[in-house]
Structure formats: C-alpha cells, structure tokens
Amino acid sequence: MYGINHENGESTAQELSTEQLSKVDTFTLAKKFKKKTNNYISHGPLATSCGLASSAVEQDLEKWKSLGDFLIGNLGFPARKQLSDAQRLRIFRYYLPVFFWCQRQLAQHRAAVAAVTTPKRPLVIGMQAPQGCGKTTLVEQLEALFEHEGMRTAGVSIDDFYLTYADQQALARANPGNRLLQVRGNAGTHDVALGGATLRALAAAGAPPGAGGADASAGGSTTAPSATVAVPRYDKSAHGGRGDRAAPGKWPRVKGPLDLVLFEGWMLGFRPVGAAAAAEVDADLGPIDAAMHSYESAWDAHVDAWLVVKVGTPEWVYRWRLEAEHAMRASGRPGMSDKQVADFVDRYMPAYHAYLPGMYASGPTTARAEHVLVVEIDETRSLTPAQPGPFCGVEGDWAG
C-alpha cells in the first residue's frame, strides 16, 4: 500500500506504516461519511422549501449531528448509527429541516423588529395540522430544540381556549338542532377573546412600561406588563369527558421576554367560505363559518410565520385517532371505543372538507410570501417524496 504525496497528489514509493494507514483510512471514511450525510440532508424532500443548500449543510454539519443526537435522546431512539430508516428520516429530513427553517424565520423577524422598535417581540409561528398527524410531538421537539439553543419559548394550543363547561352547555342549548355545536371542537366553541389576550400578554411579557409591545399596540395599559404569563389549560377529562377549563391556579406560568411562541391548532388559519358554500358541505356548518370571521383578527393576526402540515385526505384522521385510543387503552388508561372515536371525528369532518381545500390552495388567512412552510405527509405520517413548493404570496400560487 502506498501513500499520497500531499504536495502533488501523486503516489509515493514509500509504504505507509500500519498506524499511518489507519489514519488515512479513518480520514477517508470520515470524509465519505460527511459527504454521504450532507447528500442525505440536502437532497431530502424538504431541502428546497426549507432553503437547505448543500454548501450551508456542509458548513453546519457538526451542528446537524449535535442537534440530531439531542433529538435522538429526547425521542428515546437508539444511537445515530442504529437508527431505522424511518427514524433517520424523521430527525434529519423532517424535524431538523423544519427547525432550521424556523430559526431562519426568527432571524428575519428579529431584524425586522429591531428596525422599528427597541424592545424585542417574540416570533409567533402558527401551525395548522389535522388531529393525530403528529403535530404535538413536532411542536414539543421544536420547543425543546430552541430551549436547547438558549431560547425562551412558549407552546400554546387552541384547545386550551375552549369555552368553559358552563358556557359550552349554554351554547349547546341555544343551538339544539346543530350537532356541531353540542360539544367542543369547531369554531364558535372557543373563548376567542381569551386566546387573543393570551397571545398579547405573551408578546408583551417582560417588556418595559410603554415599550410598544403587543399591549401598547392594542391600546392597552402603559404600566409594565407582567414578567410572567399564565397560559390557560383545558382539562378534557372533566365532566365525564365533556371537558372544562382548568382552574387558573393550575395554569403553567411562562417567563418573558420570549423569543418564540409556537401556536398550534387543527383549524388555525382557516378561511370562511360563506354561508352558501358552507351549507353545501353540511347544513350545520353555517354558524361555524360565521363564527370563524372573528378568529382572523383575534388570533391569526398575531402570527408572523405559518407551518402547515398537509394531508392527502382528512379521512386519515379516523385511523390516527383510533391508533391513539387503542394505545391509551393498551397502556391501562381510559380511552374511547371505536364507535365513540368515529362519532368524535365525524364532528370535525364538515370543517375539514369545507376549509382544507382553501388552506392548501391559498395558504392560511394571514400568509405572506417567504413566511409559509407546507410539509406534506402520507397516511403513515412520513414525508411524501414530492413536497409543495414555497408559497409565493399570491392566492393559489405555489412554487414548484
């Protein structure tokens, strides 16, 4: 075995020792591993929409490995070299690309905010995704990654802004013939004002008096906003599963100032279609469509960037909910029967069929070019090989 002359790249006549050969082989293997890893990431389905150029990935490869190992530990996966194909894809082609996209959105947001106001305001990323598609896990891992990087984050779900049990019962009595308003879930069953107030408080947390944070922009108090914010929580197990808002003493407190707020929900960013179009989908959908108008100004207007998890058909939600309930029962926890699951999902289907087409064609209500990421998954919750291109900011106009 002969070595390489590092001055002219030609083989030398001097044989390498075993130790030298080992070093050369290690170096060659490491170089091949880096190239293979770079290719795996930069040729992934989300590489284009997340802006992952091969040169940038190569430059930050150690960061990718470090954060990948962090996620592996967080998710309870085996060591990096023992990952299954599905686990490797989930970390290096799904979660981390989305994280780096969010990180770039944060950098752009900070630059924009610094140009117009002194106190920083957190970036709010809104996430629309159907039930059961894995959005809770994705949000948890994004939150963990940002905190691992030294950022202060808060996770907020529209589920925590449902009406109280008493108010939901009153709504049901006021609409006895509308099956969609008999239980929580659809637009009209949320305390929209509470959600808006929470988002404003999170934006202003820790800001100095009169600093022009979210409270000031809404014409609120000029006194110093609280350094901590109590984020509402909803107890879905209360009243035999009918649910109720948890007592304020049980709400988690978030300390500001925050860098990032992750705001997620199955119907977040939906666009009303009008009474006639809603009635064509389902006779009970009219009041839900009417109620939806208030969500854009109260909730969606706070969102700076959007993450949409796209599915081929909402019918997959039936299977995903069944899997979740079967897992709960298998672990000894109470869960819904298959019939109860079907009845539960049935109440969401009219909204999915009415509003998802508009979501996928035009983006969320407050979508802006270069600030929307759409991730498409299949029935197994894995990325589809072909992904939607970036949102161009014109209705119905997606690149790719």
In this predicted structure, what is the pLDDT of residue 242?
A: 86
All residues at 6 or more sequence positions from 50 whose CB lies less than 8 Å from its CB, including other chains: 97, 98, 100, 101, 373
In this predicted structure, what is the pLDDT of residue 223?
A: 45
Band of residue 220 on the pLDDT scale cut at 50, 70, 90: very low
pLDDT > 70 fraction of the chain, expressed in percent and rounded: 84
Place of tokens 């802004």: 161
Which tokens belong to 360? 């996928």
Q: Whats the size of the chain, residue-wise? A: 400
Mean pLDDT of 190-210: 88
Residue 4 reports pLDDT greater than 60: no
Residue 192 reports pLDDT greater than 50: yes
* Range name among 118-122, 269-273, 376-380 with the lowest pLDDT average: 118-122
Band of residue 279 on the pLDDT scale cut at 50, 70, 90: very high
Band of residue 17 on the pLDDT scale cut at 50, 70, 90: low
Mean pLDDT of 116-121: 72
Mean pLDDT of 370-389: 95
Task: Enter the DSSP assignment of 235.
Answer: E
Angstrom distances, CA of residue 62 to CA of 57, 66, 100, 331: 9, 6, 14, 38
In this predicted structure, what is the pLDDT of residue 6?
A: 41
Band of residue 15 on the pLDDT scale cut at 50, 70, 90: low
Nearest alpha-carbon partner for 305 in 361, 358, 367, 360: 367
Classify each residue of 81-118 as buried b or exposed e, where b means 16 or more C-beta atoms within 10 Å of its C-beta: eebeeebbbbbbbbbbbbbbbbbebbeebeeebeeeee
Which tokens belong to 212? 């022009």
* Range name among 28-37, 256-265, 311-320, 347-356 with the lowest pLDDT average: 28-37
In this predicted structure, what is the pLDDT of residue 167?
A: 98
Burial of 296 (0-12, 13-18, 19+ CB in 10 A): middle
Residue 3 reports pLDDT greater than 50: no
pLDDT tens figures, 327-357: 877 887 777 788 988 998 999 999 999 999 9
Strands (E), the chain: 2-4, 11-15, 123-128, 153-157, 228-230, 234-235, 244-245, 253-255, 260-265, 305-311, 372-377, 391-394, 397-398
Across the chain, mean pLDDT equals 87
pLDDT tens figures, 162-191: 999 999 999 999 999 999 999 999 999 999
Select the more confidently predicted residue: 20 or 301: 301
The answer to whether the CB of 336 falls within 8 A of the CB of 364 is: no
* Range name among 23-32, 49-58, 61-70, 260-269 with the lowest pLDDT average: 23-32
In this predicted structure, what is the pLDDT of residue 93?
A: 96
Residue 394 reports pLDDT greater than 60: no
